[in-house]
Amino acid sequence: MDIAAQIVPFLLIVVVFIFLFWMPQRRQQKEQQDFWNKLKAGDRVLMNSGIIGKVVKVREGIVTLEISPDVKIDCLLQSINRPAPEKGAKTA
């Protein structure tokens, strides 16, 4: 009985850890993967480095972005962070 009393609090801590930290992280990773899978030409995106560009082409793990007229760069798909704010939108 004494061992059970010591194990129960440990198990509760593990369960709380899973629900507070691990599950939200998995959900966020899934949302990011879904975003990358749905990227298509014409989307405006924000890179991790802060560069905003328009997707020109998506191929196996490489994305070609147009960052200004006639300036295109290739970058890794994983360097794309999220959709870019609309032109003229105010940022906080």
Q: pLDDT tens digit string along 78-91? A: 999 999 888 766 65
Shared domain check, 46 and 32: no
Looking at this protein, which amino acid is placed at residue 41?
Answer: A
Quote the pLDDT of residue 43: 93
> Is 46 in the same domain as 84?
yes
Angle in degrees, CA 9, 14, 19, rounded to 5: 125
User: Same structural domain for residues 67 and 50?
Assistant: yes
Q: Which domain holds residue 64?
A: 41-92
Q: How many folded domains does the chain comprise?
A: 2
Query: Which of the 8 DSSP states describes residue 63?
Result: E
Instruction: Examine the domain organization and report whether 23 and 54 are in the same domain.
Output: no
What pTM does this model have?
Answer: 0.70
Residue 59 sits in a domain whose CATH number is 2.30.30
**34 and 47 co-located in one domain:** no
Same domain, 46 and 91: yes
Neighbours of 56 (CB within 10 A): 15
Q: Summarize pLDDT for 4-59 with one digit per residue, the tens.
A: 888 888 899 888 888 888 888 899 999 999 999 999 999 999 999 999 999 999 99
Closest alpha carbon to 44 in 4, 7, 88: 88
- Residue 90's pLDDT is 63
Q: State phi, psi for 67 to the nearest 5 degrees.
A: -100, -15
